[in-house]
Amino acid sequence: MSTSGIVYRPRRLRTTPRMRRLVAEHRLHAADLVLPLFVKEGITEPVPITSMPGQVQHTEATLGDAVEQAARAGLGGVMLFGIPAQRDATGSQADAPDGILQRAIRSAREAVAKVEAERPGTPGPVVMADTCLDEFTDHGHCGVLTPEGEVDNDATLERYATMAVAQARAGTEVVSPSGMMDGQVAVIRDALDDAGFENVSVLAYSAKYASPFYGPFREAVDSALQGDRRTYQMDAANGREGLREADLDLAEGADMVMVKPAGSYLDVLRGVADRSDVPVAAYQVSGEYAMIEAAAAHGWIDRRGAVLESVLGIKRAGADVILTYWALEIAEWLAETR
């Protein structure tokens, strides 16, 4: 290419690994990453999740070990999901003071404090909790059902409010409403403030799409769901609606907003990032993880290269925070290249 006699050769900036590193427009850092973790009540050994090779349902003891590992790897956060021994129609264990998720939060905070004490001045991961009823209900939906079997938005908001406060009392630093109920951020923010937890942040799952890529997650949480969640999760055809949902959550006081899944919705992620004045998260979901793992297991793709490219694409699309099941491995790989 030539302009006014000057020959421009873009390949000059690709000639060596050193040069490519110097001019890279986007970089991953361990602190960008959040590791989702599952803890199951009543088990004595971790249970492998067959559709998510390398992932497990943790015992309460091994959860603490996993959080310590995340802390030493420099991860930005851990997202906790609780799987109770008993479920019922209203998900009563979701806000039980000694429920499995509240116990997990306390254990995670203790693990973070332990590592921080060993390394003064180096922060550990932020402890986050999923604030939804689907793991706790015997019908598997994200809310309370009407007699007709539909999710009751306002009755569900009441449950989310008490669940958020229970999580805050247990020590979570971030509550994460993921049920896509209308008005959930405002109700949770008010409940937290009224209970004296003004400093607990709300990460809103703002644009959460009804997706087949959640399939392995349902094994991970022993989901009881029959049917689907399309009456409250979003339609894959709608991009502008995702932006509108994010706008609503921002107006209600969300401290962070999320797009989920990540890989199939990079356009929505970019749109949300362009309009948001708070940090934007994206969740690389279980199906995205399982696809790469399956292809790599067959030797069809380079596993490490595919993992890093997929996560870097999410970063490039505008995510400040990335939830990924590969968070620990990526942190290790990044440490190797420092």
Question: How far is the C-alpha of 123 from the C-alpha of 117, rounded, in Å?
Answer: 10
Question: How far is the C-alpha of 233 from the C-alpha of 157, rounded, in Å?
Answer: 15
Question: How far is the C-alpha of 290 from the C-alpha of 283, rounded, in Å?
Answer: 14
Catalytic one of 40, 114, 260, 315: 260
Q: Which two tokens stand for residue 117?
A: 């004490």
Instruction: Report the candidate in 36, 105, 15 with the shortest Cα–Cα distance to residue 324.
Output: 36
Q: Which residue is associated with the tokens 């998510």?
A: 52
40 is catalytic: no
Cβ(259)–Cβ(269) below 8 Å: yes
Residue 9 buriedness (CB in 10 A; 0-12 / 13-18 / 19+): exposed
Instruction: Give me the phi and psi of 55, to 5 degrees please.
Output: -105, 150
Question: How far is the C-alpha of 207 from the C-alpha of 246, rounded, in Å?
Answer: 6
Alpha-carbon torsion angle 302, 304, 307, 311, nearest 10 = -130
Which of helix, strand or coil describes residue 208? strand
Residue 50: CB atoms within 10 A of its CB come to: 11
Could you write out the DSSP letters of every residue in 124-138? -PEEEEEE-STTTBS
Residue 123: CB atoms within 10 A of its CB come to: 13
Question: How far is the C-alpha of 256 from the C-alpha of 168, rounded, in Å?
Answer: 17
Q: Which two tokens stand for residue 16?
A: 């060596």
Mind telling me the catalytic residues? 208, 260
